[in-house]
């Protein structure tokens, strides 16, 4: 507390006194995950003083409004099962609203900016059924028109914004740059490179050719469970540190970052802060996407149907826990890592999920099932079907999602809700077939699978 007994504000002086680093990194998607993960690794890198972020909110102005009066600072609360640790993070040098197009272009035009990281959710890449850019998406069409007309100010989609920035870099001849997508998609580097290429090609093929030569896109596996901030978090910071923080973020102690690819313009020494660089990232992506994220999706849908609100509540229910173990037993053999490593990861994961002090809401995880299930559940399901197995754990996730779309359990918030919710209506067996078809037409042709999803959905919701 300050001398008057009222909490002091958070500012550069309240951190380690380090002045704001020059902006050498740009981030799109300033939110809690970025602040608990990439910004934290950057803060802990030994060369942090040279690597500040210019970070942009994906939508709206919220966090930029809260962080700017605090000079970009915020408190990271590391919430272990037995207590909290408080750390002031200063790696965000400037926080910007989503529509600050001038600052965005200015950073890209600066040779001092070396890399651009991205957290825009799975849906933010605006992919179509072939995995490339969805050219029929209304937002994509508007952005292509705006960029063709030379007015990037109103561009809103993530691929559109990246192309607008890269066009500014090319005009300024500011040299190579690296894109660092940090969303839960396998091969997120290839995904980001593809949608950026497709959008640039639609605007100006010469720009697309320049991007091909000058932009490196790395692939990353990111992991740290980070729930929404609650008013209690600000109170906890104030009580423990005497500081009034308008934008704290609480996260778990565990953190992992695996990266693969080249940074031709340089990067912070993230490896000295615990990040790992590898040439073979796929097994790490599978381990995390299938076991952690797949487990999360199972609990989000099936746990909500059983009346639970958080991950910790759901895993303390023996039934949910046995469903989780069942899914893990099906997915684990397909993870190409030593069995002992996978077993240790699962054991650690159970503890992480059970951390009662992390209130990770199931409805937050339940969002965008149409984007998440294809990367979290379907790869292992397909591998099991190819072996002639009918994996009950995977079937249960699909069945629970179907029930959710039919109005049971967690509320539906999904990028494809308008299309999918009507498909889930009507007689259960037909609904199961339509919903599976919309995830992957081959699934709807698998009669045994459709019957199993239908029967499990009926069991989950009772008579
Ligand atoms: C979660 C992830 O919301 C979700 O879908 O599964 O945000 C998860 O908490 C993170 O990937 C953990 O690293």
Query: What is the pLDDT averaged over residues 29-35?
Result: 98
Atom number, ligand 1, closest to the C-alpha of residue 292: 6
pTM as predicted: 0.95
Is the CB–ligand 1 distance for residue 311 below 6 Å? no
Is the CB–ligand 1 distance for residue 224 below 6 Å? yes
Residues paired with residue 127 on neighbouring β-strands, in sequence order: 133
The residues, ordered by sequence, that sit 6+ positions from 372 with a Cβ below 8 Å of its Cβ are 122, 184, 293, 297
Residue by residue, DSSP assigns 17-70 as SPPPPPEEEEEE--SHHHHHTHHHHHHHSTTGGG-EEEEE-SSSSHHHHHHGGG
356/313 Cα distance (integer angstroms): 8
2/7 Cα distance (integer angstroms): 6
Question: Hey, which of 225, 252, 367, 370 would you mutate to test ligand 1's pocket, going by the most ligand atoms within 8 Å of its Cβ?
Answer: 225
For residue 158, what pLDDT is reported?
98
Query: What is the pLDDT averaged over residues 141-170?
Result: 97
Query: What is the pLDDT averaged over residues 270-284?
Result: 98
Q: Output the CA 365–ligand 1 centroid distance in Å.
A: 7
Is the CB–ligand 1 distance for residue 225 below 6 Å? yes
Query: How would you class 388 by CB atoms within 10 Å of its CB: exposed for 0-12, middle for 13-18, buried for 19 or more?
Result: exposed
Query: What is the pLDDT averaged over residues 157-168?
Result: 98
At residue 1 the predicted structure's pLDDT band, cuts being 50, 70 and 90, is very low
Q: Output the CA 132–ligand 1 centroid distance in Å.
A: 24
Query: How would you class 310 by CB atoms within 10 Å of its CB: exposed for 0-12, middle for 13-18, buried for 19 or more?
Result: buried
For residue 404, what pLDDT is reported?
98
Share of the chain above pLDDT 70, in %: 98
**Minimum CA distance residue for ligand 1 atom 9:** 225
Is the CB–ligand 1 distance for residue 365 below 6 Å? yes
For residue 17, what pLDDT is reported?
72
Q: Output the CA 32–ligand 1 centroid distance in Å.
A: 11
Query: What is the pLDDT averaged over residues 364-374?
Result: 97
Q: Output the CA 366–ligand 1 centroid distance in Å.
A: 10
For residue 121, what pLDDT is reported?
96
For residue 310, what pLDDT is reported?
98
Atom number, ligand 1, closest to the C-alpha of residue 222: 13
For residue 7, what pLDDT is reported?
72
Is the CB–ligand 1 distance for residue 289 below 6 Å? no
At residue 407 the predicted structure's pLDDT band, cuts being 50, 70 and 90, is very high
Atom number, ligand 1, closest to the C-alpha of residue 296: 6
335/270 Cα distance (integer angstroms): 26
**Token pair for residue 442?**
């081959």
pLDDT exceeds cutoff 90 at 129:
no
Query: What is the pLDDT averaged over residues 313-339?
Result: 98
**Token pair for residue 94?**
């400037």
Pairing of strands 243-244, 23-28: unpaired
At residue 15 the predicted structure's pLDDT band, cuts being 50, 70 and 90, is low
Q: Output the CA 434–ligand 1 centroid distance in Å.
A: 27
Across all residues in the chain, what is the average pLDDT?
A: 96
Query: What is the pLDDT averaged over residues 384-406?
Result: 98
pLDDT exceeds cutoff 50 at 2:
no
Query: What is the pLDDT averaged over residues 139-143?
Result: 98
Question: Hey, which of 38, 124, 293 would you mutate to test ligand 1's pocket, going by the most ligand atoms within 8 Å of its Cβ?
Answer: 293
For residue 11, what pLDDT is reported?
74
Query: What is the pLDDT averaged over residues 51-56?
Result: 98
pLDDT exceeds cutoff 90 at 265:
yes
**Minimum CA distance residue for ligand 1 atom 3:** 365
Poorest-pLDDT segment among 3-12, 114-123, 322-331, 413-422: 3-12
For residue 3, what pLDDT is reported?
40
For residue 4, what pLDDT is reported?
47
pLDDT exceeds cutoff 90 at 315:
yes
For residue 462, what pLDDT is reported?
79
Is the CB–ligand 1 distance for residue 296 below 6 Å? yes
Is the CB–ligand 1 distance for residue 122 below 6 Å? no
Is the CB–ligand 1 distance for residue 293 below 6 Å? yes
88/65 Cα distance (integer angstroms): 18
Is the CB–ligand 1 distance for residue 288 below 6 Å? no
**Minimum CA distance residue for ligand 1 atom 1:** 365
């Amino acid at each position: 507390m300050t001398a008057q007994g009222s909490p002091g504000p958070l500012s550069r002086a309240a951190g380690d006194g380090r002045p704001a680093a020059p902006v050498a990194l740009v981030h799109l998607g300033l939110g809690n995950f970025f602040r608990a993960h990439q910004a934290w690794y950057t803060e802990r890198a030994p060369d942090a003083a040279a690597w500040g972020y210019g970070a942009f909110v994906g939508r709206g102005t919220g966090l930029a409004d809260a962080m700017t009066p605090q000079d970009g600072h915020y408190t990271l609360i590391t919430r272990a099962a037995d207590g909290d640790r408080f750390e002031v993070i200063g790696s965000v040098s400037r926080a910007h609203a989503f529509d600050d197009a001038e600052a965005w272009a200015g950073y890209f035009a600066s040779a001092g900016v070396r890399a651009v990281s991205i957290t825009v959710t799975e849906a933010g890449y605006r992919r179509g059924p072939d995995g490339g850019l969805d050219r029929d998406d209304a937002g994509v069409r508007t952005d292509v028109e705006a960029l063709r007309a030379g007015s990037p100010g109103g561009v809103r989609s993530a691929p559109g914004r990246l192309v607008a920035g890269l066009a500014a870099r090319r005009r300024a001849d500011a040299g190579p740059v690296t894109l660092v997508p940090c969303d839960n998609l396998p091969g997120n580097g290839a995904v980001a490179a593809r949608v950026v290429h497709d959008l640039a090609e639609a605007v100006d093929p010469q720009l697309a050719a320049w991007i091909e030569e000058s932009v490196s896109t790395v692939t990353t596996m990111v992991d740290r469970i980070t729930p929404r901030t609650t008013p209690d978090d600000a109170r906890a910071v104030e009580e423990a540190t005497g500081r009034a923080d308008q934008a704290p973020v609480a996260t778990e102690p565990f953190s992992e970052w695996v990266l693969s690819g080249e940074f031709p313009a340089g990067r912070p020494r993230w490896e000295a802060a615990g990040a790992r660089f590898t040439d073979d990232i796929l097994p790490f992506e599978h381990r995390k996407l299938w076991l952690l994220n797949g487990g999360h999706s199972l609990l989000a849908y099936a746990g909500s149907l059983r009346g639970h609100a958080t991950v910790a509540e759901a895993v303390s229910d023996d039934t949910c826990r046995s469903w989780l173990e069942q899914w893990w037993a099906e997915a684990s053999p397909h993870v190409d890592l030593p069995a002992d490593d996978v077993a240790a990861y699962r054991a650690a994961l159970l503890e992480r999920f059970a951390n009662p002090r992390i209130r990770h809401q199931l409805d937050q995880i339940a969002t965008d099932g149409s984007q998440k299930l294809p990367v979290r559940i379907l790869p292992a399901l397909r591998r099991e079907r190819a072996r002639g197995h009918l994996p009950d754990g995977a079937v249960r996730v699909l069945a629970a999602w179907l029930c959710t779309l039919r109005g049971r359990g967690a509320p539906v918030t999904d990028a494809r809700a308008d299309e999918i919710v009507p498909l889930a209506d009507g007689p259960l067996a037909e609904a199961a077939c339509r919903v599976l078809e919309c995830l992957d037409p081959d699934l709807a042709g698998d009669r045994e699978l459709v019957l199993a999803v239908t029967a499990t959905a009926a069991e989950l919701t009772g008579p």
